[in-house]
Structure 1
Amino acid sequence: MPDEFALGPDPDHPGWMRWELREKGRYNSTLGPMSVMQRADGTVVVRTVPGHLQGNLADNVHGGAILTQVDISMFVCARLNGSLREGPGVTLDLSTHFVGAGKVGVPMDCEVEIIKETGRMLFLRGLVKQQGISICAYTGTIRKMPGRKIGARSGSPS
């Protein structure tokens, strides 16, 4: 796993790992700490606890916060399953269906699995749940960008 990410036991959640971006000033940090678990079948669960910052004016989780968690979760899944070993990837598409409201202060689990992998593409799907109830279903595609170091800009040396 690239040095940009820290993965270790989550002291607050036995059996889970804590996933963090080492560089705290990035957008990925807006969700707060993420706990991750990889099931035997390769499915990855990424848990956050949405707070006031992720809430909308109705005191539900803002759809943008849910989309952020979904996008990050797809990349966590790709890395934990070894599909993105080096270099970054980009989200090519993300299709979501909101089927319920997320509640602020309630753990939100993003379950994600790889349904197909090719040389340059990953096709994923999943559900976002709170207390076992689905609030969002999604599919997405990641394009792997091999040979580039994460954080390197186009045209700059690696």
Structure 2
Amino acid sequence: MTERQDAPRFLYADDPDHPGWKRWELGQKGRFNDALGPLSVKVEGDIARVRMAVDTRHSNLADNLHGGALLAFVDVAMFAAARGFDVLHHGGAVTLDVAVQFMAAGSVAEPIEARVELLRETGRLLFLRGLIVQDHGNVANFSGTVRKVTGK
């Protein structure tokens, strides 16, 4: 690994490419999340909007978004949204479960966005649900549970 081991786990700061949004990404490069690229987060009321730029590396042979790329985005978007909601910071957390229903093909020609709601927070659990959307409509819906491992 080329990054310092003491680098922050996650970076969450103003997104220089998208005014009014925050950029959420891992502090260490070379991890799985790099396949998705940095995410942009904006909280509007009870909804956290998590946006990802997509390109052909996220596509399948039909030139649509690959289902695996969408599943990875759903998983990571739950953590980015939790940071946006100020319920998850630098402590560890894991996905306990996630359910996704695909409703339409995703396009590689436009960004994809998760609109995430925090349904409930207990001492260690976050219950979330959301929609994956693009300009042409809903691509998928999801629900998931995240467990905080150490603190907030």
Output the TM-score relative to the length of structure 2. 0.88
CA contact (8 A) 2:24 2:40 kept: yes
Pick closer, same or farther for the CA change 1:103–1:11 going to 2, 3 Å. same
Indicate the residue corresponding to 1:133 in structure 2: 137
- What is the aligned residue count? 146
Q: Give runs of ≥4 in structure 1 deviating > 3 Å.
A: none
Question: What does the per-residue CA deviation read over 1:31-67, in whole Å, with 9 as the maximum and x for residues that have no partner?
Answer: 11211111122x2111112111100000000011111
- Give the gaps of 5 or more residues in structure 2: 1-6
Q: Are positions 1:98 and 2:102 aligned together?
A: yes
Match of residue 147, structure 2, among 143, 148, 153: 143
Aligned equivalents of 1:86, 1:25: Cα separation in 2:
19
Q: Offset of 1:12 from its aligned partner?
A: 2.0
User: 1:15-30 counterparts in 2 under 5 A?
Assistant: 15-30=20-35
Pick closer, same or farther for the CA change 1:39–1:147 going to 2, 3 Å. closer
Indicate the residue corresponding to 1:61 in structure 2: 65
Match of residue 51, structure 2, among 47, 51, 55: 47
Give the alignment's Cα RMSD to 1 decimal. Answer: 1.8
Question: What does the per-residue CA deviation read over 1:63-121, in whole Å, with 9 as the maximum and x for residues that have no partner?
Answer: 11111111111111222223223421111110010000000131100111110111121
Q: Are positions 1:32 and 2:37 aligned together?
A: yes
What SS class does the counterpart of residue 56 from structure 1 fall into? Answer: coil
Aligned equivalents of 2:22, 2:89: Cα separation in 1:
19
Output the TM-score relative to the length of structure 1. 0.85
Q: Which residue identity lines up with residue 24 of structure 1 in the other structure?
A: K
Aligned equivalents of 2:136, 2:108: Cα separation in 1:
15
Aligned equivalents of 1:12, 1:91: Cα separation in 2:
29
- Give the gaps of 5 or more residues in structure 1: 149-158
Indicate the residue corresponding to 1:87 in structure 2: 91
CA contact (8 A) 2:91 2:149 kept: yes
CA contact (8 A) 1:49 1:105 kept: no
Q: Offset of 1:15 from its aligned partner?
A: 1.7
Match of residue 14, structure 2, among 9, 16, 39: 9
What SS class does the counterpart of residue 68 from structure 1 fall into? Answer: helix
Among the aligned pairs, what percent are the same residue? 47
Aligned equivalents of 1:81, 1:16: Cα separation in 2:
13
Indicate the residue corresponding to 1:74 in structure 2: 78
